[in-house]
């Protein structure tokens, strides 16, 4: 941009052409007199000489005289005329000469022979020459040689002519530091003229200008703001700095000389033009704005400042645009603004009331929405007020005192107190936090009020829940242990004794199954109330689902035993719930302080051990703890430990008990298969009965692993029999609950190669009691494998009949208890008969278990029972005992049966 201004060069000098125009006519005038040109100090006029023809004849003398007189007169006239001309010419020449001599430029003229015909004073002055240094007839090259000698020409003569004839002329640097611009022109008549112009000052100025320009350009190039300048006239860029190049991603060569619309996208060019126009229209001469431009696919925001530069005539000449990319800054400030709004929103919506108070005058500066409850007004209306303006004098006094305490403390002050609000008296947790200024003086007080009414209520409810049973609202096990500890503390060291009762409700599980859990729950509530009534103010707690704990003082164990009996009586009466009559009872274990334990946990554990014994004895019984019970429980724990390694140690095995068709006698009863029964040979205790270890395995989950072993072992065994008899395997409910029993059976069948129709799975109703839908679904899938499912121990449970409807069992196994009583009581015979009929009606085959006598066998055979199993047919033995039956060796099959039976 600046170049145009600053590169003015010879703008201020008289142009050489103008000089030429002035000088040229002189040359025409002066040329004919070139010979007469005197190189004297004064300008010498040309020497003109006139001529006439003389006659010597006398005759003519007179005439001649006359003529001569006449001629003289003419001559005189001519002479006078000539003088007149000469004078005017002289005047003219003197004028021209003085004009040329007074020129600011040196001028030298030569004729066609290169002789110097004119050289002005300025020329002589420039080069320090005297007029006498330029004699008449001296040629141009001679004068130049002279100058070379004088040291005022630093190039050769030829070079001088060559360079000074160029349009921009030749600059000669003189020893004294001056610079002379020489321009040499040829004239049409073969002569020449040279002008010599002392341009020292201009040269200095332009050098200075050039360095200033360079300086400014380098400054502009290094400022981080984009700078561009354009000509207003044509809108073309004349300058762009490096920042502009960087921003636009165009080089300045690409930018300079072009208009915005030739460089940028139409949208960008339009917004540039608009800003330019606004700057030109602005009376102040500048215009600030924010421009939206495109750079490739990005949109950028520029903060632009446009300034109009005017020339000396005050006309707009250049437009200078300074701009900065503020896109990031804008988005940052937008983000800050958003953050601020966000924080305001948060502050306003936190469920805690927040008030900021100025310490100096106690005025409220800020209050959020939640604070409106406390301030009893809109938050906008509270700002600027003090506590005294808002609250009644008593409250205000209290608040101000608390505020002052917090300010004095210069830290956090927390307290809980009631505040009356429009919703009534509420409990608030107030935190006061002092904000200090730079000098450490309190500046603001931030107060938060949190309504903790509900929370405190919940906490106390939770505390109650932690120690109470949600259903019966009785104290729970934890509370019972605490009460026990207190009781021990009270009785310790005295001869006072008390009893701990563990009461187990009978048949709750069945009631839940038959009538639903809602009924079970109502029963529990009723039971709790009867227990409380019977306890007459003593501690009653619910220890677990169907277990209650009581503490009774007095002479022991008499007092405890009496209470247990009373409880039994209280619960023996039927309950009427939702119009249904429900019966239950209880079994009780008792331990006594101090004899059966000195701490709460062991007293309760021992009452539990006594209960275990009582349950084992009979439902409804009462058992008082004896030290050996403790031993039994410990034994159980040890046994469980041992069982967990039994499979690995190879201590488990299977016995097989034959099942036969029910013939009139053993001889006519044909063995159709075996039931596999698990046996544990304990390394120390010998055989442990399955009635003992199976429940242990079920409780601990060991049954899953054990059941898998039994299933695999029995199938493998049966698959190896030459005679394809059936094998019946017991599945525990726990296997249904925890393992993937279907895939297990499937994979074991594949693995052992046993035909599915040879496998029979015996399940008890427990499978269906735990989770009926799941139980039925699993049974269906098992049956789909092609195996048979039989209902074991039929009649011993509570609701076997309903299960028969739910699933198409293949077989029903009548429980041993009924078979045992055949012949002893008539009901059993009726029941067995009914079950046989029922089963056949449902197309299920019937197996009678526990057949021990010929009578029983005869009866069953007569009644059309399909199969029998019992000691009378054969006891459970290792399969080796029944080798002949499975076709492993010869021999009399029935002989073996009889021997073993
Ligand atoms: P259960 O399934 O009802 O098995 C029949 C039980 O009756 C067997 O007792 C068997 O020895 C016994 N028994 C058979 N015939 C007579 C008889 O004529 N008179 C008398 N008094 N008893 C007879 P065991 O082997 O002691 O098994 C007891 C229970 O242990 C089984 O009753 C079954 O519930 C469980 N059990 C045994 N083996 C397994 C097993 O492999 N898996 C599972 N889950 N449970 C098993
Ligand atoms: Ca069985
Ligand atoms: Ca059975």
Cα–Cα–Cα angle for 291, 296, 297, rounded to 5 degrees: 90
Query: For 203-208, which contacts have Cβ atoms below 8 Å and span 24 or more sequence positions?
Result: 203/171, 203/179, 206/6, 206/7, 206/8, 206/9
Q: Provide the strand spans (E) within 20-115.
A: 106-110
Ligand 1 pocket residue status of 689, Cβ below 6 Å: yes
Ligand 1 pocket residue status of 792, Cβ below 6 Å: yes
C-alpha span between 372 and 486 (Å, rounded): 49
Report in angstroms the alpha-carbon separations of 83 from 48, 78, 158: 11, 8, 44
pLDDT number for residue 25 = 43
**For the CA of 714, the nearest atom of ligand 1:** 41
Residue-level length of the chain: 901
Within 10 angstroms of residue 273's Cβ, the number of other Cβ atoms is 14
Tell me if 308 sits within 8 A of 334, measured CB to CB.
no
Pairing of β 226-231 and β 192-198: unpaired
**For the CA of 698, the nearest atom of ligand 1:** 44
* Complete domains list, the chain, with CATH: 2-98 (no CATH), 103-203 (3.30.450.20), 223-331 (3.30.450.20), 350-451 (3.30.450.20), 467-629 (3.30.70.270), 656-677+702-900 (3.20.20.450)
**For the residues of 442-505, what is the DSSP string, one character each?**
EEEEEEEEEE-HHHHHHHHHHHHHHHB-TTT--B-HHHHHHHHHHHHHHHTTSS--EEEEEEEE
pLDDT number for residue 605 = 92
Pairing of β 622-624 and β 424-436: unpaired
**For the CA of 710, the nearest atom of ligand 1:** 41
Phi-psi category of residue 146: left, alpha or beta, with phi > 0 → left and psi -120 to 50 → alpha: alpha
Burial of 754-768, coded b for 16+ CB within 10 Å and e otherwise, reads bebebbbbbbbbbbb
Ligand 1 pocket residue status of 766, Cβ below 6 Å: no
C-alpha span between 62 and 727 (Å, rounded): 196
Q: Provide the strand spans (E) within 782-840.
A: 788-794, 811-814
C-alpha span between 858 and 862 (Å, rounded): 6
Ligand 1 pocket residue status of 691, Cβ below 6 Å: yes
Report helix, strand or coil for 23.
Answer: helix
Ligand 1 pocket residue status of 870, Cβ below 6 Å: yes
Of 201, 198, 189, 167, nearest in space to 23 by CA? 189
Query: From the CA of 790, how far away is ligand 2's center (Å)?
Result: 9
Ligand 1 pocket residue status of 694, Cβ below 6 Å: yes
According to DSSP, residue 617 is labeled H
**For the CA of 793, the nearest atom of ligand 1:** 3
Ligand 1 pocket residue status of 677, Cβ below 6 Å: yes
At residue 537, what are phi and psi to the nearest 5 degrees? 90, -10
Q: Which of 689, 694, 797, 848 to mutate to test the pocket of ligand 1 (most atoms within 8 A of CB)?
A: 694
**Helix crossing, 508-515 with 517-535: angle to 10°?**
140
Of 371, 368, 366, nearest in space to 428 by CA? 371
What lies within 8 Å, CB to CB, of 128 at 6+ separation is 150, 152
The Cβ-side half-sphere exposure at 312, using a 13 Å CA radius, reads 1
Ligand 1 pocket residue status of 741, Cβ below 6 Å: no
**For the CA of 729, the nearest atom of ligand 1:** 41
Q: Provide the strand spans (E) within 701-838.
A: 726-730, 759-763, 788-794, 811-814
C-alpha span between 836 and 811 (Å, rounded): 11
Within 10 angstroms of residue 453's Cβ, the number of other Cβ atoms is 17
As separate numbers, helices (DSSP H) first and strands (DSSP E) second, the chain gives: 34, 31
Which residue owns the Cα nearest ligand 1 atom 25? 677
Ligand 1 pocket residue status of 708, Cβ below 6 Å: no
C-alpha span between 522 and 527 (Å, rounded): 9
Tell me if 305 sits within 8 A of 323, measured CB to CB.
yes
Which residue owns the Cα nearest ligand 1 atom 43? 730
pLDDT number for residue 591 = 96
Query: From the CA of 856, how far away is ligand 3's center (Å)?
Result: 16
Which residue owns the Cα nearest ligand 1 atom 24? 690
Ligand 1 pocket residue status of 800, Cβ below 6 Å: no
Ligand 1 pocket residue status of 793, Cβ below 6 Å: yes
Q: Which residue blocks in 282-413 are alpha helix, DSSP H?
A: 327-349, 371-375, 379-382, 387-390, 393-409
pLDDT number for residue 798 = 58
| pLDDT lower than 70: segments of the chain | 1-58, 60, 63-64, 797-800, 890-901
**H or E, element range at 158:** helix 157-164
Ligand 1 pocket residue status of 876, Cβ below 6 Å: yes
Ligand 1 pocket residue status of 678, Cβ below 6 Å: yes
Paired residues of 502 in beta bridges: 549, 589
Phi-psi category of residue 507: left, alpha or beta, with phi > 0 → left and psi -120 to 50 → alpha: left
**H or E, element range at 172:** strand 170-173
Which residue owns the Cα nearest ligand 1 atom 3? 793
**For the CA of 869, the nearest atom of ligand 1:** 15
Query: From the CA of 762, how far away is ligand 2's center (Å)?
Result: 6
Ligand 1 pocket residue status of 852, Cβ below 6 Å: yes
Which residue owns the Cα nearest ligand 1 atom 4? 677
**For the CA of 872, the nearest atom of ligand 1:** 18
C-alpha span between 436 and 430 (Å, rounded): 19
Tell me if 693 sits within 8 A of 642, measured CB to CB.
no
According to DSSP, residue 758 is labeled G
Q: Which of 652, 675, 690, 853 to mutate to test the pocket of ligand 1 (most atoms within 8 A of CB)?
A: 690
Of 678, 590, 602, 684, nearest in space to 635 by CA? 684
Question: Which ligand places an atom closest to the C-alpha of 869?
Answer: 1
Q: Which residue blocks in 720-872 are alpha helix, DSSP H?
A: 733-738, 741-752, 766-770, 772-784, 800-806, 816-820, 826-841, 854-862
C-alpha span between 64 and 66 (Å, rounded): 5
Report helix, strand or coil for 189.
Answer: coil
Pairing of β 671-682 and β 652-661: antiparallel
Query: From the CA of 843, how far away is ligand 1's center (Å)?
Result: 25
Query: From the CA of 775, how far away is ligand 1's center (Å)?
Result: 22
Q: Which two tokens stand for residue 359?
A: 């310490």
Query: From the CA of 752, how far away is ligand 2's center (Å)?
Result: 22
C-alpha span between 658 and 667 (Å, rounded): 14
What lies within 8 Å, CB to CB, of 852 at 6+ separation is 819, 820, 870, 871, 872
Burial of 314-324, coded b for 16+ CB within 10 Å and e otherwise, reads eeebbbbbbbb
Which residue owns the Cα nearest ligand 1 atom 32? 691
Tell me if 275 sits within 8 A of 306, measured CB to CB.
yes
Q: Which of 676, 730, 860 to mutate to test the pocket of ligand 1 (most atoms within 8 A of CB)?
A: 730
Question: Which ligand places an atom closest to the C-alpha of 813?
Answer: 3
Question: Which ligand places an atom closest to the C-alpha of 728?
Answer: 2
C-alpha span between 642 and 696 (Å, rounded): 11
Tell me if 508 sits within 8 A of 520, measured CB to CB.
yes
C-alpha span between 516 and 501 (Å, rounded): 28
Which residue owns the Cα nearest ligand 1 atom 11? 876
Within 10 angstroms of residue 477's Cβ, the number of other Cβ atoms is 16
**Helix crossing, 477-491 with 600-617: angle to 10°?**
110
Q: Which two tokens stand for residue 412?
A: 């956090």
Ligand 1 pocket residue status of 657, Cβ below 6 Å: yes
**For the CA of 689, the nearest atom of ligand 1:** 26
According to DSSP, residue 248 is labeled H
Tell me if 875 sits within 8 A of 656, measured CB to CB.
no
Question: Which ligand places an atom closest to the C-alpha of 710?
Answer: 1
Within 10 angstroms of residue 616's Cβ, the number of other Cβ atoms is 11
Residue 865, Cβ density class (10 Å: 0-12 exposed, 13-18 middle, ≥19 buried): buried
Ligand 1 pocket residue status of 710, Cβ below 6 Å: yes
Query: From the CA of 677, how far away is ligand 1's center (Å)?
Result: 6
Q: Alpha carbon 880 to chain centroid distance?
A: 70
According to DSSP, residue 392 is labeled -
**For the CA of 676, the nearest atom of ligand 1:** 41
Ligand 1 pocket residue status of 732, Cβ below 6 Å: yes
pLDDT digits 0-9 by tens, 544-585: 889 999 999 999 999 999 999 999 999 999 999 999 888 899
According to DSSP, residue 44 is labeled B
C-alpha span between 823 and 835 (Å, rounded): 17
Report in angstroms the alpha-carbon separations of 194 from 29, 166, 198, 571, 611: 18, 12, 13, 146, 142
Cα–Cα–Cα angle for 333, 336, 340, rounded to 5 degrees: 140
Query: From the CA of 86, how far away is ligand 2's center (Å)?
Result: 167
pLDDT number for residue 613 = 87
Q: Which of 657, 658, 677, 736 to mutate to test the pocket of ligand 1 (most atoms within 8 A of CB)?
A: 677
Within 10 angstroms of residue 883's Cβ, the number of other Cβ atoms is 17
At residue 89, what are phi and psi to the nearest 5 degrees? -65, -40
pLDDT number for residue 147 = 93
Ligand 1 pocket residue status of 856, Cβ below 6 Å: no
C-alpha span between 87 and 94 (Å, rounded): 10
Ligand 1 pocket residue status of 475, Cβ below 6 Å: no
């Amino acid at each position: 941009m600046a170049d145009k201004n600053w590169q003015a060069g010879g703008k201020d000098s008289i142009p050489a052409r103008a000089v030429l125009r002035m000088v040229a006519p002189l040359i025409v005038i002066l040329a004919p007199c070139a010979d007469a040109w005197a190189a004297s100090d004064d300008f010498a006029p040309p020497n003109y000489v006139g001529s006439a023809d003389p006659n010597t004849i006398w005759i003519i003398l007179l005439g001649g005289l006359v003529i001569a007189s006449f001629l003289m007169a003419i001559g005189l006239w001519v002479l006078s005329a000539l003088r007149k001309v000469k004078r005017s010419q002289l005047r003219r020449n003197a004028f021209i000469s003085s004009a040329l001599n007074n020129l600011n430029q040196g001028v030298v003229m030569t004729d066609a022979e290169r002789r110097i015909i004119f050289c002005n004073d300025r020329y002589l002055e420039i080069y320090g020459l005297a007029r006498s240094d330029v004699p008449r007839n001296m040629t141009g090259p001679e004068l130049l040689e002279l100058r070379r000698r004088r040291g005022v020409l630093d190039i050769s003569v030829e070079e001088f002519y060559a360079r000074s004839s160029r349009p921009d002329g030749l600059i000669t640097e003189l020893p004294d530091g001056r610079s002379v611009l020489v321009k040499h022109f040829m004239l049409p008549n073969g002569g020449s003229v040279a002008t010599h112009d002392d341009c020292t000052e201009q040269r200095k100025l332009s050098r200075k200008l050039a360095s200033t320009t360079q300086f400014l350009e380098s400054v502009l190039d290094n400022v981080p703001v984009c700078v561009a300048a354009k000509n207003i006239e044509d809108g073309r860029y004349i300058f762009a700095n490096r920042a502009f190049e960087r921003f636009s991603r165009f080089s300045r060569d690409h930018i300079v000389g072009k208009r915005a619309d030739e460089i940028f996208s139409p949208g960008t060019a339009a917004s540039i033009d608009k800003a330019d126009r606004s700057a030109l229209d602005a009376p102040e001469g500048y215009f600030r704005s924010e421009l939206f431009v495109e750079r490739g696919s990005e949109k950028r925001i520029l903060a632009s400042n446009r300034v109009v530069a005017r020339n000396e005539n005050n006309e707009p000449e250049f437009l200078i645009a300074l701009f900065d990319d503020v896109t990031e800054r804008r988005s940052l400030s937008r983000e800050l603004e958003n953050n601020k709004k966000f924080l305001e929103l948060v502050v306003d919506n936190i469920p805690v009331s927040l008030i900021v108070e100025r310490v100096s005058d106690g005025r409220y500066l800020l209050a959020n929405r939640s604070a409106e409850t406390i301030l009893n007004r809109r938050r906008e209306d509270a700002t600027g007020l003090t506590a005294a303006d808002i609250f009644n004098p008593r409250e205000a006094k209290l608040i101000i005192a608390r505020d002052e305490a917090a300010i004095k403390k210069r830290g956090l002050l927390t307290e809980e107190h009631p505040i009356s609000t429009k919703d009534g008296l509420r409990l608030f947790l107030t935190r006061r936090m002092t904000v200090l200024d730079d000098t450490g003086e309190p500046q603001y007080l931030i107060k938060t009020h949190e309504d903790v009414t509900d929370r405190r209520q919940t906490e106390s409810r939770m505390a109650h829940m932690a120690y109470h049973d949600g259903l019966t609202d009785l104290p729970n096990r934890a509370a019972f242990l605490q009460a026990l500890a207190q009781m021990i503390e009270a009785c310790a060291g005295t001869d006072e004794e008390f009893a701990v009762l563990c009461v187990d409700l009978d048949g709750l599980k069945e009631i839940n199954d038959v009538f639903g859990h809602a009924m079970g729950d109502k029963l529990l509530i009723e039971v709790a109330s009867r227990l409380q009534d019977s306890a007459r103010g003593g501690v009653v707690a619910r220890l677990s689902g169907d277990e209650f704990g009581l503490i009774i003082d007095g002479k022991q164990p008499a007092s405890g035993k009496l209470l247990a009996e009373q409880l039994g009586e209280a619960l023996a009466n039927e309950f009427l719930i939702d119009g249904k009559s429900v019966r239950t009872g209880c079994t009780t274990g008792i331990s006594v302080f101090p004899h059966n334990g000195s701490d709460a946990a062991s007293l309760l554990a021992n009452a539990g051990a006594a209960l275990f014994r009582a349950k084992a004895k009979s439902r409804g019984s009462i058992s008082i703890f004896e030290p050996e019970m403790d031993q039994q429980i410990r034994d159980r724990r040890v046994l469980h430990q041992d069982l967990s390694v039994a499979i690995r140690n190879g201590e488990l095995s299977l016995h097989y008990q034959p099942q036969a068709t029910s013939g009139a006698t053993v001889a006519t009863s044909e063995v159709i298969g075996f039931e596999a029964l698990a046996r544990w040979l304990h390394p120390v205790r010998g055989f442990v009965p399955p009635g003992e270890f199976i429940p242990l395995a079920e409780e601990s989950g060991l049954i899953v692993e054990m059941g898998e072993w039994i299933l695999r072992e029995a199938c493998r065994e049966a698959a190896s029999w030459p005679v394809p008899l059936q094998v019946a395997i017991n599945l525990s409910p726990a296997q249904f609950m925890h393992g993937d029993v279907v895939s297990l059976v499937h994979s074991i069948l594949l693995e052992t190669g046993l035909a599915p129709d040879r496998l029979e799975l015996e399940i008890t109703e427990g499978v269906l009691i735990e989770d009926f839908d799941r139980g039925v679904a699993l049974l269906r899938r098992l049956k789909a494998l092609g195996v048979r499912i039989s209902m074991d121990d039929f009649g011993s449970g509570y609701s076997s009949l309903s299960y028969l409807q739910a699933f198409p069992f293949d077989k029903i196994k009548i429980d041993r208890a009924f078979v045992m009583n055949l012949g002893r009581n008539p009901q059993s015979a009726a029941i067995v008969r009914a079950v046989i009929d029922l089963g056949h009606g449902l197309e299920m085959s019937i197996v009678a278990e526990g057949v021990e006598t010929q009578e029983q066998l005869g009866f069953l055979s007569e009644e059309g029972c399909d199969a029998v199993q019992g000691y009378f047919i054969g006891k459970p033995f290792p399969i080796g005992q029944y080798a002949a039956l499975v076709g492993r060796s010869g021999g009399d099959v029935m002989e073996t049966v009889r021997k073993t039976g």
